[in-house]
Structure 1
Amino acid sequence: MKKKSKKLYWVIGGLALAILLLLIIGKKAGWIGQEKPTEVEVTKVVAGNLTQSVSASGKIQPEVEVKISPDVPGEIIALYIKEGDSVQKGQLLLKIQPENYVSVVERSRAGVNQSKASAEQAKAAISRAESQLVRLEAEFKRQQKLYEEKVVSLADFQMAEANLLTARQDLASAKASYEAARFGINSSEAALKDASENLRKTNIYAPVSGIVSKLAVELGERVVGTSQMAGTELLRIANLNNMEVRVNVNENDIIRVDLGDTVIVDVDAYTAQNKKFKGVVTRVANTAIGSGGSLSAASNSTEAVTEFEVRIKILPESYMDLIDHARGRKYPFKPGMTATVDIITDKKNGILMIPISAVTTRTDKVETKENNEDSGEEKQPTKTEKPKEIVFVLENGVAKKREVVTGITDISTGNIEIVSGLKAGETVITGPFIEVSKRLEDGKAVTDKNAKPAKETKKK
């Protein structure tokens, strides 16, 4: 029994020693205790072409669209056009009931005639006053001579002098009455002109040539109109040969948009036909939409998205194939159609690029020292976080952090320009997103999850 127990102890001790030796060798060889490499997605740094663009949505509108409102109120008694009609400048479009304005014109014309008659009466009064003045001047001279010769009394001389002064005043009064009558004529003629103009405005003519894009009234409808403010909108005339897209661009993107930029326009109505159109930026707003000068407007603008209007002309050569005069399709676009645009703001060829998903940001703490302005003493160093753009390069099974400088971004392809920090042919890690953005660290073991395992050679 004792011999068997000793033998068992030796066997157990040998096994323990073998296991211990195996653990030591496995740990040194990396078989035991080594962290399992993280599976990642990778791609190569390549040279190619990138196009940077700004995307926005908006509505198609005519470049020129005139809204027509009446200057006088009344009932529409004649309507000579319908929506979609082509009209020429100066063409009669509709009529407003003119009877009330005809009566005003007649009263004003009668007022002019009355003022002219009053002026003629004042003119005749001037002639009578002048004749009276001549007679009394002669009488005054005669009385003055007789008074000097002591033939008439002082009272008779003073009476003649008073009569002369009265005659002069009567002449001045007659002339003033004539001037007033002339001003009365001018006032009456102005009233007649105003009444005649209101009567003329009962006929609505086309101010420009184009297409009636909207007709908002019907025959017999009453409309409101004044000369001081816009009245009831009657209709709109537009030039449908020249159309534009009006979009709102975010303030972060507007700084990249310039006049003359090329634009790709995707109109929803033609999306099924896979048809896209070309355009060019013709106007970039200098003021944000809805911005005002008041403090309340400024406070409200901080809570909403700040956008600027951009207008894009659709080039006719890009939609000429849609025009079919035989079928009456002269204008492929209608006001109000929805469109999405890609404004091409930059384009580079033959540059290094990688997927956007490969680029992330990490912060490094930097110590800064500042002096106290009052005492001149040096303050305690403070740590500030400085963000840096980085990528992770796959080298010999580990991730190596590399700081890079990026350029333009191509949203359509999902690639970004690498200005410095990488070379063509290097392998960068592009995913998973959570690994690239948060978990990966410099020197961490990784493996390409899409790499194919090496095939074992078959022994013959």
Structure 2
Amino acid sequence: MKKILKWVGLGVLVFGALWAATFFIKSNSKSAIEYETHKPFISNIEKKTVATGKVIPEDEVEIKPQISGIIDKIYLEEGNPVNAGDLIAVIKVVPNEQALNQARGRVSNAEIALNNTKIEYDRNKALFDKGVISSQDFNNLQLQYDQAIQELKNARADYQIIRVGSAGGSSSANTNIRATVAGTILEIPVEEGDQVIQSNNFNDGTTIASIADLGKMIFEGKVDEGEVGKLEIGMPLKISLGAIEDKEFNAELKFIAPKGVEESGAVQFKIEGDVSVEDDFLIRAGYSANASLVLEKKDSILVIPEALLQFDKETDKPYVEVSIGEQEFERRDVEIGISDGINVEIVSGLDENDEVKQWNKTEPIKKGLEEGEEESDEDA
């Protein structure tokens, strides 16, 4: 009985060893790996950057009043085309009570002074006609009389300006708000009944309307400090607008800011470019836009797909593997130039006849384990 159990146990061990060896061979057996190759080729490479920003009018004029008051009537709307001199709005003057009272008092004082001077003038004129006083004395009285008349005119004019907004009484000079340039009304930030303040040395004044020529637009954007050194005035730009699909507008770089501004840890430099506006498209002020700039361009150079490159772990220098026989490869160091993210320039190390190894993707480890488990289940 013991001999039988002994032989049975030995058989089980042998069978288990054979099964384990079979499973190990099946789970670790792989087909031979074959690598594809690619030859270098001649192509053009452009290294580009994209600046984000917006399209705005080249010149935007703000119309401000010459006198304070209340908006009585607005005659135009936002988006209307205007010519220089077109009436936009009318202001109704609401005089300051204190200033009005002071002006009225100045008129009264001027009238009193004039009456007194006139009495003296008339009395001395009679004496002058009789030859009692000299010409010089009479001329001095004549000057005082004329000055008193002029002072009364000035006081009445100031009173009229404070009361109605114009010395002539028609109030057309200051209360009629007119366009100073031709273009399109971009914005009218006030409404009828709003109070406005005149423009002076201490206050910019209330903006009645803003006007710009939408046929003269510029791109305004920002670029990173790592790329601004490669830009030059006069470089061509390609402007794409979010509001107009499948269309690019030509532009020319005209301004690069001499000082950068830090934003989110990166220094950004403002740039501007003149946009060539086509008559078939209406570009509205404030459209978001992207500008594509060619930083570097090389034509007819030897290139390979950038995915074929490998980098040494110690020196970080690029290299490729070149075919020397049937699925046999050798390492070859290369010198690379500019890249557009897809292809990279080969400065030295390869020629057009070389066949460069394409690195295959590694199969996921998890997938291999699952296949081994399925095979073991089938064997069981």
1:283 and 2:281 matched: no
* Distance (Å, rounded) in 2 between the aligned partners of 1:421 and 1:102: 90
Instruction: Name the SS of the counterpart of 2:266 in structure 1.
Output: coil
Amino acid at match of 1:395: S
Structure with bigger helix share is 1
Between the two proteins, the alignment pairs up a number of residues equal to 300
Q: Distance in 2 between matches of 1:430 and 1:352?
A: 17
Corresponding residue number in structure 2 for 1:203: 176
Q: How far apart, in 1, do the equivalents of 2:32 and 2:330 lie?
A: 10
1:192 aligned counterpart, secondary structure: helix
CA RMSD, 1 decimal: 4.4
C-alpha change, 1:360 and 1:202, in structure 2 (3 Å) is farther
> Is this contact kept in 2: 1:391–1:429, CA < 8 A?
no
Deviation at residue 431 of structure 1 after TM alignment: 4.8
How far did 1:122 drift?
Answer: 8.5
> Are residue 80 (structure 1) and residue 36 (structure 2) matched?
no
**Which runs of 5 or more structure 2 residues have no equivalent in the other structure?**
1-29, 125-139, 363-380
Structure 2 residue corresponding to 1:423, chosen from 351, 369, 377? 351
* Alignment partner, residue 446 of structure 1: none
Q: AA paired with 2:300?
A: G
The TM-score with structure 2 as length reference comes to: 0.63
Q: TM-score, normalised by structure 1?
A: 0.54
1:22 maps to none
Matches within 5 A, 1:145-160: none
Taking a change above 3 Å as real, the CA distance of residues 206 and 406 of structure 1, as seen in their structure-2 partners, is same
1:254 corresponds to 2:228: yes
Q: What is the aligned partner in structure 1 of residue 210 from structure 2?
A: 236
Residue 84 of structure 1: how far off its partner (Å): 1.4
Distance in 2 between the 1:102 and 1:38 partners? 98
Could you say which residue in structure 1 is the equivalent of 2:87?
Answer: 92
Considering only CA atoms, is the larger Rg found in Structure 1 or Structure 2? 1
Question: 48, 57, 64: which one pairs with 2:59?
Answer: 64
State how 1:306-317 maps to structure 2 within 5 Å.
Answer: 306-316=267-277
Which residue of the partner structure matches residue 215 of structure 1? 188
- On the 8 A contact 2:334/2:347 being kept in 1, the answer is no
**Secondary structure, in 3 states, of the residue corresponding to 1:332?**
coil
The verdict on how the C-alpha distance between 1:118 and 1:304 changes in structure 2, with shifts beyond 3 A counting, is farther
Instruction: Report the secondary structure of 1:218's partner residue.
Output: coil
Aligned runs of 1:17-32 on 2, under 5 Å?
none
Unmatched 5+ stretches in structure 1: 1-34, 129-173, 292-300, 324-330, 365-386, 435-460
Residues 43 and 339 of structure 1, relative CA distance in 2, 3 Å threshold: farther
Matches within 5 A, 1:434-453: none
Determine the structure 2 residue equivalent to 1:337: 287
Identical residues among aligned pairs (%) = 23
Which whole-Å CA distance do the structure 2 matches of 1:65 and 1:229 have between them?
19
Partner of 1:410: 340
**Match status 1:305 vs 2:266:** yes
Partner SS, residue 294 of structure 2: strand
Kindly provide the amino acid, as one letter, of the partner of residue 304 in structure 1.
Answer: G
Partner amino acid, structure 2, of 1:424: E
Structure 1 counterpart of 2:241: 267
Q: How does 1:5-24 map to 2 (within 5 A)?
A: none
User: Letter of the aligned partner of 1:49 in structure 2?
Assistant: N
Per-residue CA deviation, residues 10-56 of structure 1 (Å, 9 max, x unaligned), is xxxxxxxxxxxxxxxxxxxxxxxxx9987766532211112222212
Partner residue, 2:366: none
How many Å apart are 1:97 and its aligned residue? Answer: 1.5
Q: Secondary structure at the match of 1:252?
A: helix
CA distance in 2, matches of 1:113, 1:430: 101
Residue 211 of structure 1 deviates from its aligned partner by 0.6
Change in CA separation of 1:235 and 1:357 when aligned onto 2, cut-off 3 Å: farther
SS at match of 2:95: helix
The answer on whether the counterparts of 2:255 and 2:273 sit within 8 Å (CA) in structure 1 is yes
Q: 1:361 to 1:239 in 2, by over 3 A?
A: farther
Cα distance in 1 for partners of 2:335, 2:354 equals 13
**Residue 393 and residue 213 in structure 1: after superposition, are their counterparts in 2 closer, same or farther (change >3 A)?**
same
